[in-house]
Amino acid sequence: MYPVFMAQWLKDKRKPLFIILLIGLSILATVIFGGSRQNQSSSVTVFATGPNAEEMEQKWTALLNDSSDMEFVITDEEKAREQVREGKSDVAIRLMESDYRLITASDMPNIQFIEQQVHQVFTKEAQLEAAAGTENTMELRNEIEAYLDHPPVKVESQTLSGGELQEYNMGMQLLFGFTLFIVMFTIGFKVNGIAADKVSGVWNRLILSPVSKTGMYAGHLLYSFCAGFVQMLIVFLIFKYVMDYNIGSLPMILVIAAVYTLSTVSLAMLFAGIANTPEKFNMIYPSVISIIPVISGIYMPPGTISNPVLQFIADLFPLTYAVDAMMNVAIFDAGWSDITLSMALMLLIAVLYMGIGINMVERRKG
Amino acid sequence: MLETIKLSKTFKEKKVVDEINLFLDEGESVGLLGPNGAGKSTTISMISSLLKPTSGDVKLDGKSTIKDPSKIRKVLGVVPQEIALYEELSAYENLKFFGKIYKVKKDTLEDRIQEVLDMVGLQERQKELVKTFSGGMKRRVNIAAALLHDPEILILDEPTVGIDPQSRNHILETVRNLNVERGTTILYTSHYMEEVEQLCNRVYIMDHGKIIASGSKSELLSILSSEDTIQVQLSGQSDSLLDRIKSFTSVLQVDETNEGMRIISKKGSNILSELVHAAEKEDIQIVNFQVETPSLEDVFLHLTGKTLRD
């Protein structure tokens, strides 16, 4: 096994550009798409129409900005509508005296989240006005706020492990998503080395040598695993220590990454079994895995993909489980028991696909 | 030492190798000759335990190797037709890799690598990447990789296909030295008749998956002992002249060549006067007339009715 492993390493040592390129790509994609997505979701355009539009805009923007982490920015109606139309922003809000309208082109989960925030502010204001009656609303507001500073009952939301409940971070999902997606290419092309060895005749030489079949496969697959895992390790370390991302417990993230790498090696082995030549593998594998993040909803907020067929297809690949587990660790401070199911499913994929893949490769040999 | 008994292989109802019996004695150099598609590579794959035969057996020192191929693998070196090397690695790195794979002892591996590199004449260029080598040099490294564990039997599957004459001569010289000086048993497959004639003590001729003739060179040539092969160079070609010659009672076979024709006639029959007469009638001149010593190529032609490169 060791010489097979070392031979693969020697080949890559001569041509490290491919792996460096993929590492760079992981970081670049996360920074570009993750960064823009974060900016996009934190700012919402608002506008009002009518004779006292300016007054309404000032009043509601102040209340909305006070009650949410999101930034509500006043824009003129034409511009706000155009941005939604062109897809530059997901939603714009038309403010009215005591009501609002959402202007949107889709029904994304983040729009529901914004709606929830806005609804809360308008409801609270309506309640205050109703309670104040003919009296001054501002006085009542101050009175209530003073009372709430020392409430008789205080409800606090916490994660299962007792940590602070965090807001869903799409940038973080993209970080994990891109890193795990791009590593699928690295692993795939390494596993394809088995098919290349078969075509070149090196595999036959190995069969005639005292090295066992298990050793031959283990050398190749272990190397593919290490190449993929080291790539992810480098990306995560850069994000955590250089770019200051809070990715949660690094050891847990790395354990998830290791299990994911294992299942991806098996997935690539399955593809190597389906495509019997390196050329066919190079055609089929990248074509199929490129659509997996889309089907798995990696580029979108959770819950966006609701089609059961797409969900079923996504469930056949380890990407969904890995991103889900990593997000739970990074955002919700999940413990081992919270990610057990995802890990178990990835291990199941690893065992099944590896078995089927090797079997197919061996049968095809004739 | 090594023998096959009624060895057969069928792929999808097509019999590629059909009940082949062959044997190799220790220290012998045996040629397996046949055109492309004759079944040579499949036979080799079965002998070397890479392919399971549909029926028949391969025996090493009287013991079957089908169920337990480990014994034959220990004593066997196989030079495949394809370049079975990592092209991204240097010649030295490739040999080190295969040496480790074949479990050559650490303390002797380095010497062994230099020894085999010397044998194939690539010691000077061992640090260069295989992908930068010419086809001939790659084939030499291909041979070197099969020699690292000092095999008792070396099987070479068309090791000189598509290479320059210099590399070809080097390879033939290496194989000869291995057989003569080191006593390595050789099974050499080729569709180049002259290589087999140069290197091998005995030859098996294969066609359509069957052994159609076997024996030493002189034994095979004796097949043609009752025939003369005559090369005739003509000033022009004519179908009617060909037909006339075919009608001669002593002529057994006539084939057109680039410059004239090749005639196989009964031994000792003097066809020259008849030939001159026929050519005159067709207004064609005989430029050259030569009675050839028969070669294995003629034997193959006689047995199969076609040349090796057909």
pLDDT value, residue A40: 47
Residue A140 CB partners (closer than 8 Å, separation 6+) = A128, A131, A132
pLDDT value, residue B85: 92
pLDDT value, residue B310: 54
Task: Identify the closest residue of chain A to B69 by CA–CA distance.
Answer: A208
The pLDDT tens digits for A138-174 are 788 788 878 878 888 877 766 665 666 566 677 788 8
Task: Quote the CA–CA distance of B154 and B146 in Å, as a whole number.
Answer: 8
Q: Do residue B89 and residue A205 have CB atoms under 8 angstroms apart? A: no
Task: Identify the closest residue of chain A to B52 by CA–CA distance.
Answer: A366
Record the tokens describing residue A132, joined without a space: 């104040």
Compute the count of residue pairs across chains A and B with CB atoms less than 8 Å apart: 66
**Residues of chain B positioned with their CB less than 8 A from the CB of A201:** 80-84
Q: Burial level of A339, CB count in 10 A (0-12/13-18/19+)?
A: buried
User: Closest partner residue to A7 among B73, B97, B146, by Cβ?
Assistant: B97
Residue A168's H or E segment, with its range, is none
Record the tokens describing residue B133, joined without a space: 């080598």
Question: Which residues of A have a CB under 8 Å from any CB of B?
Answer: 2-4, 6-7, 10-11, 14-15, 200-202, 204-211, 366
pLDDT value, residue A130: 84
Q: Do residue A202 and residue B88 have CB atoms under 8 angstroms apart? A: no
pLDDT value, residue A39: 46
Q: Is the pLDDT of residue A36 over 60?
A: no
User: Closest partner residue to A14 among B11, B88, B97, by Cβ?
Assistant: B88
Task: Quote the CA–CA distance of A18 and B27 in Å, as a whole number.
Answer: 49
Percent of chain A with pLDDT strictly greater than 70:
92
Strand B286-292 and strand B55-60: the pairing is unpaired
Q: Do residue A3 and residue B100 have CB atoms under 8 angstroms apart? A: yes
The pLDDT tens digits for A18-32 are 878 887 887 787 777
Task: Please count the CA atoms within 13 angstroms of the CA of A165 that sit on its side-chain side.
Answer: 6
**Residues of chain A positioned with their CB less than 8 A from the CB of B49:** 208
The pLDDT tens digits for B11-49 are 888 888 989 999 999 889 999 988 888 888 899 999 998
Helix (H, G, I), strand (E, B) or coil at A162: coil
**Residues of chain B positioned with their CB less than 8 A from the CB of A4:** 101
User: Closest partner residue to B80 among A2, A11, A204, by Cβ?
Assistant: A204
Q: Do residue B101 and residue A211 have CB atoms under 8 angstroms apart? A: yes
Q: Is the pLDDT of residue A365 over 60?
A: no
Do the Cβ atoms of A239 and A175 come closer than 8 Å? Answer: yes
Work out whether the CA dihedral B282, B287, B291, B297 comes out positive or negative. negative
Task: Quote the CA–CA distance of A276 and B15 in Å, as a whole number.
Answer: 24
Task: Quote the CA–CA distance of B189 and B155 in Å, as a whole number.
Answer: 8
Helix (H, G, I), strand (E, B) or coil at A366: coil
Work out whether the CA dihedral A141, A145, A146, A151 comes out positive or negative. positive
What are φ and ψ of residue B300, in 5° steps?
-60, -45
pLDDT value, residue B128: 92
DSSP state of B37: T
pLDDT value, residue B129: 92
Task: Quote the CA–CA distance of A360 and A269 in Å, as a whole number.
Answer: 9
pLDDT band at A3 (very low <50, low <70, confident <90, very high): confident
Task: Identify the closest residue of chain A to B145 by CA–CA distance.
Answer: A205
Determine the Cα angle at B263 with ends B257 and B265, to 5°: 170
pLDDT value, residue A226: 92
Chain centroid to CA A186: 19
**Residues of chain A positioned with their CB less than 8 A from the CB of B146:** 205
- The shortest C-alpha distance from B158 to chain A (Å) reads 14
Helix A278-296 and helix A308-315, axial crossing angle in degrees, nearest 10? 130
pLDDT value, residue A272: 92
The pLDDT tens digits for A37-83 are 444 446 788 988 888 888 888 888 888 888 777 788 888 888 889 88
Task: Quote the CA–CA distance of A256 and A327 in Å, as a whole number.
Answer: 11
Q: Do residue A200 and residue B85 have CB atoms under 8 angstroms apart? A: yes
From residue A188, alpha-carbon distances to A43, A130, A191, A359 in Å are 39, 64, 5, 18
Q: Which of A217, A183, A192, A195 is nearest to A289 (CA)?
A: A183
**Residues of chain B positioned with their CB less than 8 A from the CB of A212:** none
Task: Quote the CA–CA distance of B119 and B94 in Å, as a whole number.
Answer: 16
Record the tokens describing residue A7, joined without a space: 């031979």
Do the Cβ atoms of A104 and A90 come closer than 8 Å? Answer: yes
Task: Quote the CA–CA distance of B131 and B83 in Å, as a whole number.
Answer: 11
Please give the CATH topology (third level) of the domain spanning A42-149: D-Maltodextrin-Binding Protein; domain 2 (3.40.190)
pLDDT value, residue A357: 92
Q: What is the pTM of this model?
A: 0.72
ipTM above 0.85, yes or no: no
Sheet holding B251-256, edge to edge: B251-256, B260-266, B227-234, B286-292
Do the Cβ atoms of B259 and B236 come closer than 8 Å? Answer: no
Among the residues of A150-296, which ranges form H helices? 170-200, 202-208, 213-237, 250-274, 278-296
User: Closest partner residue to B50 among A4, A11, A207, by Cβ?
Assistant: A207
- The shortest C-alpha distance from B73 to chain A (Å) reads 6
The pLDDT tens digits for A109-135 are 678 778 888 898 888 888 888 887 767
Task: Quote the CA–CA distance of A61 and A66 in Å, as a whole number.
Answer: 8
**Residues of chain B positioned with their CB less than 8 A from the CB of A210:** 73-74, 101-103
3-class secondary structure for A85-149? HCCCCCEEEEECCCCEEEEECCCCHHHHHHHHHHHHHHHHHHHHHHHHCCCCHHHHHHHHHHHHH
Average of per-residue pLDDT values in chain A: 84
**Residues of chain A positioned with their CB less than 8 A from the CB of B85:** 200, 202
Strand B76-79 and strand B153-157: the pairing is parallel
- The shortest C-alpha distance from B181 to chain A (Å) reads 25
Q: Do residue B97 and residue A6 have CB atoms under 8 angstroms apart? A: yes
**Residues of chain A positioned with their CB less than 8 A from the CB of B101:** 3-4, 205-206, 209-211
| Mutation for A interface: B94, B97, B161, most A CBs within 10 A | B97
User: Closest partner residue to A204 among B11, B84, B86, by Cβ?
Assistant: B84
Q: Do residue B101 and residue A3 have CB atoms under 8 angstroms apart? A: yes
pLDDT value, residue B159: 87
Residue type, B149: H
From residue A7, alpha-carbon distances to A198, A216, B85 in Å are 15, 12, 11
Least confident of A9-18, A174-183, B205-214: A9-18
| Mutation for A interface: B46, B101, B132, B142, most A CBs within 10 A | B101
User: Closest partner residue to A11 among B82, B86, B103, by Cβ?
Assistant: B86
User: Closest partner residue to B80 among A15, A201, A206, by Cβ?
Assistant: A201
**Residues of chain A positioned with their CB less than 8 A from the CB of B100:** 2-3
Neighbouring-strand partners of residue B15: B10
- For CATH 3.40.190, the residue range(s) in chain A are 42-149
As a whole number, mean pLDDT of residues A258-272 equals: 95
Local confidence pLDDT in tens for the 310 residues of chain B = 889 999 999 988 888 898 999 999 988 999 998 888 888 889 999 999 888 999 999 998 888 888 888 888 888 999 998 899 999 899 999 999 999 988 888 889 999 999 999 888 888 898 999 999 988 889 999 999 998 988 999 999 988 888 888 888 888 988 998 898 888 999 999 888 888 888 888 889 888 889 888 888 778 877 776 778 888 898 888 888 888 888 888 888 888 888 888 888 887 777 888 888 888 888 888 888 888 777 777 777 777 776 665 5
pLDDT band at A349 (very low <50, low <70, confident <90, very high): very high
Q: CB B86: neighbour CB atoms within 10 A? A: 24
Residue A244 CB partners (closer than 8 Å, separation 6+) = none
Q: Do residue A204 and residue B73 have CB atoms under 8 angstroms apart? A: no
